[in-house]
């Protein structure tokens, strides 16, 4: 494109082709992010597998119909809070206990202390 512009030549791609390429690149990037998230989940579960029952300081990172999510910082990992949370807000600091680290599924579950 730059060569065409600099040499006053016609553009090598039309608008339709550029739109198709943009959509394709976005889909590929989304797929790569999904794989990256899964790998991080597996890594976290593998790292925490020997720490079942340990207590950690955590931060609430989100809440949805599927549950409340927390992040621990040492070691860095994110998982689902299995106990009722009451009124918690994103960013709130709590203490949690690790109750499950399933490497095959990439699940990490915590209980609130």
CATH of the domain at 104: 2.40.50.140
- Residues 70 and 109: their CA atoms lie apart, in Å, by 9
> Among candidates 68, 36, 56, which has minimal Cα distance to 96?
56
Assess whether pLDDT exceeds 70 at residue 1: yes
- Identify whether 55 is part of a domain: yes
Residue 5 binned pLDDT confidence (cut-offs 50, 70, 90): confident
Q: Where are the alpha helices (DSSP H) in 1-113?
A: 2-6, 15-48
- Identify whether 81 is part of a domain: yes
pLDDT value, residue 85: 65
- Residues 68 and 82: their CA atoms lie apart, in Å, by 8
- Residues 113 and 94: their CA atoms lie apart, in Å, by 8
Residue 17 binned pLDDT confidence (cut-offs 50, 70, 90): very high
Assess whether pLDDT exceeds 80 at residue 89: yes
- Identify whether 1 is part of a domain: no
Q: Which domain holds residue 68?
A: 13-113
pLDDT value, residue 91: 94
- Residues 54 and 66: their CA atoms lie apart, in Å, by 24
pLDDT tens string 62-85: 988 888 999 999 899 999 998 776
78, 84, 90, 96 alpha-carbon torsion, rounded to 10°:
-50
* DSSP state letter for 89: -
pLDDT value, residue 83: 75
Which of 2-6, 98-102, 103-107 has the lowest average pLDDT?
A: 2-6
- Identify whether 2 is part of a domain: no
- Residues 88 and 72: their CA atoms lie apart, in Å, by 16
pLDDT value, residue 10: 86
pLDDT value, residue 52: 97
pLDDT tens string 18-27: 999 999 999 9
Give the total number of structural domains in the chain: 1
Distances (CA, A) of 52 to 44, 75, 112: 13, 13, 14
């Amino acid at each position: 494109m730059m060569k065409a512009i600099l040499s006053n030549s016609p553009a090598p791609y039309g608008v339709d082709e550029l739109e198709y390429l943009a959509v394709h690149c976005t889909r590929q990037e989304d797929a790569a992010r999904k794989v990256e998230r899964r790998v991080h989940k597996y890594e976290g579960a593998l790292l925490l597998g020997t720490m079942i029952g340990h207590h950690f300081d955590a931060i609430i990172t989100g809440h949805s119909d599927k549950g409340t999510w927390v992040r621990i910082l040492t070691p860095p990992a994110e998982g689902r809070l299995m106990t009722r949370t009451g009124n918690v807000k994103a960013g709130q600091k709590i203490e949690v206990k690790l109750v499950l680290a399933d490497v095959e599924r990439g699940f990490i579950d915590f209980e609130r202390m």
